[in-house]
C-alpha cells in the first residue's frame, strides 16, 4: 500500500514515511492509493474472532510490511488494551462505546496506535517533535499515548479557557516529553498555527516536525478497526446498517469511509455535528465555507474548518453528488443536546455525553423515516463533562478513578498569543546546540 498526497497524486510514499511526516511536503494529506475490498467471507469471519484479530487483518493491509507482523500484532495488543462494547440503548439503536481507554475518549485508539508505530520507526531516525492542536480530547489522548517515549517530544497547543478543567489537567500536568502551550485564541487558531509551522521553511529545516492530529494517517487507520468490530457484534444480516458519527475534524468519519471501501456493509453514514456545521451545510448546498468555530457543550466538535474534509473530497473526486450519496449531515443546538441527554437517561437509564448525544439525535432523526439498524458512536465518557451532565440530569455522577488521577497535580503551561511568530519563536528557542 502506498500513500499519495491530496495535493498531488504523483507523490507516493510508504506507510513509514506517511506516519513520520504526518503531512506531505506539499501540505497535502496522505491517503491510501487503492483500497481493495476484502472478500465477504473474511468480513463474515470477523464474527468469530475478536477486535485484535480484526485489527491485525486490516492493519496488515495498510502497514504493508513496514512493520513486521509480529511487532504490528504487539502494537495492536498494546494500543487496544481496553473494551469497545456495543450496547443496546433502544430497539435498533446501539451505542458503540469508544471511551474505555486511559483518557476516556475515542481518540485513545488512534493516538495509542500512532505513538507505538512512531516509536518503532524512530528507533532508526532522529528525534521528532510532534505538534498537535487540541480542543480537549486530542491533547490528553496524544499526551497519554506518547508520554515517556524516547526520541519524541510532544508540543500541544490548546485554546486557553476553552477546554474543561478535567481535560486540561490530563495533558498539562505530565511533564517529561510533553509540553502544553496555552494559546489566547480559539481551537481554529491553534490548528492554523500548527499548519503554518509545517509550511515554514526555517522550522522544517531546523526541527524534525510531525503531526499527531487526525491529519496523520496512522490515527485514522486504527479507527477503521472498530467499525468492523461493531458490525461483527450485531446479529448476522443486521441490515440496512446506519452509522452515526459525532464529528468535528472528521477523522472518525473518514475512517468509516475507508472501512466502507474495505467492504463494511454500511448503507449510510450520518455526520452528526453541533452548531458548527460547515460539513452539513456543504452536504446540503454543495458549497464548503469554513468559518470561525462557535463554543458549544460538545466542545471537542467545535471545529469551523475540519482538517479531514480535504480527504473526504479527494476520496470522492470532489463530487458533491457522490459524497451526498454516502453521508447525510445533521446539526444540533446545545439545547437539543441537553434535552436528549435528559430524555434518554430518563427513558432508558443510558447516559449520553454531549458528543454522543449528537450521534444519537442524528440516528433517531434518520431512523424515523428510514427503518434500519443504527449504531451511534459514544466518543467520550459522560463523566468527562460531569458539571454539564450533573446539571442536566440533576444527579451527581461517579467520576472514574482514571479521570481523577490528574486532578490534584499542578498545571504547567507556556502561555502565548495566537500569532504564529510567537509560536515559531518558542519552537526555535527550544533547540539547543
Ligand atoms: C475529537 C472528538 C470528536 C470528533 O471527532 P473527529 O474525528 O474530529 O470528527 C467527537 N467526540 C469527541 C468526544 C472527541 O474527542
Nearest ligand 1 atom to alpha carbon 141: 15
Q: Name the one residue in this structure whose C-alpha cell is 502494537.
A: 75
| d(CA 246, ligand 1 centre) in Å | 7
For residue 133, how far is its CA from the centre of ligand 1 (angstroms)?
13
Specify the length of the chain in residues. Answer: 433
Structural domain spans, the chain: 84-104+218-400
Looking at ligand 1, which residue's alpha carbon is closest to its atom 14?
Answer: 300
The answer to whether the CB of 355 is under 6 A from ligand 1 is: yes
Does the C-beta of 254 come closer than 6 Å to ligand 1?
no
To test the pocket of ligand 1, the residue of 105, 109, 388 to mutate (highest count of ligand atoms within 8 Å of its CB) is: 105
Protein residue with least CA distance to atom 2, ligand 1: 300
> Sheet holding 152-159: strands in order across?
209-211, 128-133, 152-159, 178-183, 414-416
Q: pLDDT value at position 136?
A: 77
Span 4-32, pLDDT tens digits: 999 999 989 999 999 998 989 898 999 99
Rounded distance from Cα 247 to ligand 1 centre (Å): 6
Q: How far is the CA of 355 from the centre of ligand 1 (A)?
A: 8
Burial, 400: exposed, middle or buried (Cβ in 10 Å; 0-12, 13-18, 19+)?
Answer: middle
Please count the helices (runs of H) and the strands (runs of E) in the chain: 19, 14
188 or 372, greater pLDDT: 372
Give pLDDT tens digits for 171-206.
Answer: 999 999 999 999 999 988 998 999 999 999 999 899
The answer, yes or no, to whether any atom of ligand 1 lies below 6 A from the CB of 293, is no
The minimum-distance atom of ligand 1 relative to the CA of 384 is 13
Across the beta sheet with 266-273, the strand order is 86-90, 93-97, 373-378, 241-246, 266-273, 327-331
Q: How confident is the model at residue 164 (pLDDT cuts 50, 70, 90)?
A: confident
What pTM was estimated for this model as a whole? 0.93
Q: Residue 130: enclosing H or E segment and its boundaries?
A: strand 128-133
Q: Which CATH class is domain 84-104+218-400?
A: alpha beta
* Rounded CA Rg of the chain: 20
pLDDT in tens, 218-246: 999 999 999 999 999 998 888 899 999 99
349 Cα: distance to centroid of ligand 1 (angstroms): 24
Whole-angstrom CA distances from 357 to 22, 95, 276, 382, 419 are: 31, 10, 15, 10, 35
Res 433 pLDDT > 50: no
Task: Tell me if residue 221 falls in helix, strand or coil.
Answer: helix
Q: Are 260 and 326 in contact (CB under 8 A)?
A: yes
The preferred substitution site among 163, 168, 218, 249 for testing ligand 1, maximizing ligand atoms within 8 Å of CB, is 249
Q: What gap in Å lies between CA 357 and CA 298, rounded to an integer?
A: 9
Does 125 score more than 70 pLDDT?
A: no
Read off the pLDDT of residues 138-156 as tens digits, 9 standing for 90 and up: 899 999 999 988 889 999 9
Task: Please return the burial class of 424, using the count of CB atoms within 10 Å of its CB with bins 0-12, 13-18 and 19+.
Answer: middle
Most ligand 1 atoms within 8 A of CB, residue of 355, 359, 376, 385 to mutate: 355
**Pairing status of strand 93-97 against strand 86-90:** antiparallel
With 70 as the cut, is the pLDDT of residue 270 above it?
Answer: yes
28 Cβ contact partners less than 8 Å away, ≥ 6 residues apart: 5, 6, 7, 8, 11, 310
C-alpha of residue 331 to centroid of ligand 1, in Å: 14
pLDDT tops 70 at residue 135: yes
- Is-cis flag, bond preceding 240, omega within 30? yes
**242 C-alpha to ligand 1 centroid (Å):** 19
Given the CA of residue 246, which atom of ligand 1 is nearest to it? 10
- Cα end-to-end span (Å), the chain: 39
Average pLDDT (156-161) is 96
Q: Which atom of ligand 1 is nearest to the CA of 307?
A: 8
Q: Specify whether the CB–CB gap between 414 and 181 falls below 8 A.
A: yes
So what's the pLDDT on residue 215? 87
Amino acid at each position: 500500500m502506498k500513500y499519495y498526497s491530496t495535493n498531488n497524486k504523483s507523490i507516493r510514499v510508504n506507510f513509514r514515511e506517511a506516519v513520520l511526516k504526518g503531512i506531505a511536503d506539499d501540505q497535502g494529506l496522505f491517503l491510501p492509493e487503492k483500497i481493495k475490498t476484502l472478500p465477504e467471507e473474511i468480513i463474515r469471519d470477523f464474527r468469530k474472532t475478536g477486535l485484535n484479530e480484526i485489527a491485525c487483518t486490516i492493519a496488515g493491509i495498510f502497514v504493508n510490511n513496514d512493520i513486521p507482523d509480529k511487532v504490528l500484532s504487539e502494537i495492536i495488543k498494546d494500543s487496544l488494551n481496553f473494551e469497545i462494547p456495543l450496547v443496546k440503548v433502544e430497539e435498533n439503536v446501539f451505542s458503540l462505546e469508544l471511551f474505555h481507554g486511559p483518557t476516556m475518549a475515542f481518540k485513545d485508539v488512534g493516538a495509542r496506535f500512532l505513538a507505538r508505530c512512531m516509536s518503532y520507526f524512530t528507533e532508526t531516525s532522529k528525534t521528532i517533535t510532534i505538534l498537535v492542536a487540541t480542543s480537549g480530547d486530542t491533547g490528553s489522548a496524544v499526551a497519554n499515548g506518547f508520554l515517556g517515549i524516547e526520541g519524541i517530544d510532544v508540543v500541544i497547543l490548546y485554546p486557553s479557557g476553552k477546554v474543561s478543567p478535567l481535560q486540561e489537567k490530563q495533558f498539562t500536568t505530565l511533564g517529561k516529553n510533553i509540553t502544553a502551550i496555552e494559546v489566547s485564541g480559539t481551537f481554529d487558531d491553534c490548528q492554523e498555527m500548527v499548519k503554518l509551522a509545517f509550511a515554514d521553511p526555517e522550522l522544517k529545516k531546523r526541527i524534525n516536525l510531525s503531526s499527531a492530529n487526525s491529519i496523520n494517517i496512522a490515527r485514522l487507520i486504527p479507527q477503521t478497526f472498530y467499525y468492523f468490530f461493531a458490525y461483527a457484534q450485531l446479529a448476522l444480516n443486521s441490515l440496512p446498517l446506519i452509522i452515526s458519527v459525532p464529528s468535528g475534524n472528521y477523522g472518525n468519519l473518514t475512517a468509516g469511509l475507508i472501512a466502507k471501501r474495505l467492504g463494511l456493509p454500511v448503507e449510510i453514514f450520518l455526520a452528526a455535528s453541533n452548531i458548527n456545521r460547515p460539513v452539513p451545510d456543504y452536504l446540503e448546498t454543495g458549497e464548503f465555507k469554513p468559518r470561525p468555530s462557535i463554543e458549544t457543550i460538545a466542545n471537542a466538535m467545535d471545529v469551523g474548518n475540519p482538517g479531514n474534509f480535504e480527504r473526504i473530497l479527494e476520496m470522492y473526486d470532489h463530487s458533491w453528488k457522490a459524497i451526498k450519496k454516502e453521508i447525510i449531515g445533521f446539526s444540533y443546538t446545545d439545547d437539543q443536546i441537553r434535552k436528549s441527554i435528559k430524555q434518554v437517561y430518563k427513558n432508558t437509564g443510558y447516559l449520553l455525553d454531549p458528543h454522543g448525544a449528537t450521534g444519537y439525535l442524528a440516528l433517531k432523526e434518520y431512523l424515523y423515516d428510514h427503518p434500519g439498524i443504527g449504531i451511534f458512536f459514544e466518543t467520550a465518557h459522560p463523566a468527562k463533562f460531569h458539571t454539564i451532565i450533573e446539571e442536566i440530569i440533576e444527579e451527581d455522577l461517579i467520576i472514574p478513578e482514571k479521570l481523577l488521577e490528574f486532578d490534584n497535580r499542578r498545571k504547567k503551561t507556556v502561555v502565548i498569543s495566537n500569532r504564529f511568530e510567537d509560536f515559531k519563536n518558542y519552537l526555535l528557542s527550544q533547540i539547543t546546540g
